[in-house]
A = this chain, B = another copy of it.
Amino acid sequence: MSGFAPSVYNSPTMKVADLGEFGVIDRLANLIRSRRKKDADAFGFRLLVDAGDDAAAWLGPNATHLFTTDTMVDGVHFTTAHSGWRDVGWKAMAANVSDVAAMGGLPLYALVTLGLPKDFGTRAIDSLYAGMLDLAEECRFSLIGGDLVRSPVIFITVALVGATGETPLRRDEAVPGDHVAVTGCLGSPAAGLELLRRGAEAAGPDAATLVQAHRRPSPHLSQGRALAGAGIKAAMDVSDGLTDDLSKLCRASGVSARVDAHRVPVDPALKRAFPHSWRDLALTGGEDYVLLFTAHPKVMEGVLPQLPHPAAVIGEIRDGEPGRVSVCDAEGNELPSAGGGWDHYR
């Protein structure tokens, strides 16, 4: 429950916004674990990864099952001022597939819930589904049903089941001395969104690259599989911003971390388009959907060449206040916190 006594939490005036998204999620994870029955498993399944990771996981007879859900709400997580419905569909699905990638798994079956007002056009529904099916084809999983409900605000919820033959990657396995690495460049999707906000979409090839990164992020499935196959234990995906998500991984593992800002990989297009703010975008931008992972330096050395795309070591896990992430420049001086992260309640 991370710092709130039940009596405070239960005061009649305490609101979601007071605790923030992640404060409430922590609270609920503890609540459901406290009422968990030991005999809930059946059919030979056994719960492996509980609430609080990218996906839940249970062990079956020939594979570990993964189960995740993610929602996008109009005006909170997306706006059609910046993306067409087909891109919105892709992204709603990509956020879920990325959660499965972060566990080292493959997506298998998805259910889609659309909350739509009465006057929502059927062509837009088709476009939403087309975007989701684009990703399903690319990543070889199946949409197998869902739900359609009337709602005054548009929302899209995906529930996704996946599987892995390896031990799932987890957030709570980082240990002091581990190196921290990422499977790809950071900051481009946030930069693309910023360009769209400025109405600068069509301003040359760099802008096109960044806008595409925002509209059609590709979950790092092959990277996640390679990490799990190589014996990596600690990983998560970067959806709320690098330092914010690294902080969550550290909190789950009870450790601190240092990030060397100059080692964080970015696309050259990002540096050119945002010569002053590219570093902040890379550290805190969000919706990157690359994987963040940690491993003993020796293990890391062996893993990096096995990855299908270049990955980069960007820092180190340390003893210290759980969840604290310090960001340093090339000379080792700590930079002021960039803040940020995507707690939509704060």
Q: Taking beta carbons and an 8 Å cutoff, which residues of A are in contact with B?
A: 9-19, 21, 24-25, 27-29, 31-32, 35-37, 39-45, 47, 50-53, 55-56, 58, 60-63, 65, 67-73, 75-77, 106, 108-109, 111, 113, 115-123, 125-126, 129, 133, 136-137, 140-153, 155, 157, 159, 161, 163, 165, 344-345
Complex Cα–Cα for A16 and B169 (A): 41
**What are some 7 contacts across the A-B interface (CB < 8 A)?**
A12-B123, A14-B121, A51-B145, A68-B145, A69-B113, A71-B149, A75-B152
In contact, A113 and B50 (Cβ under 8 angstroms): no
The complex is assembled from copies of this chain, and their number is 2
Given A50-B144, A152-B75, verify A43-B63 contact (CB < 8 Å): yes
Given A37-B137, A71-B113, A115-B73, verify A51-B120 contact (CB < 8 Å): no
In contact, A122 and B62 (Cβ under 8 angstroms): no
Complex Cα–Cα for A60 and B64 (A): 12
Residue from the list B45, B67, B73, B109 in contact with A151, Cβ < 8 A: B73
In contact, A113 and B157 (Cβ under 8 angstroms): yes
Q: With a CB–CB cut-off of 8 A, which chain B residues contact A106?
A: 42-43
Residue from the list B16, B18, B51 in contact with A116, Cβ < 8 A: B16
Could you tell me the dominant secondary structure of chain A's interface residues?
A: mixed
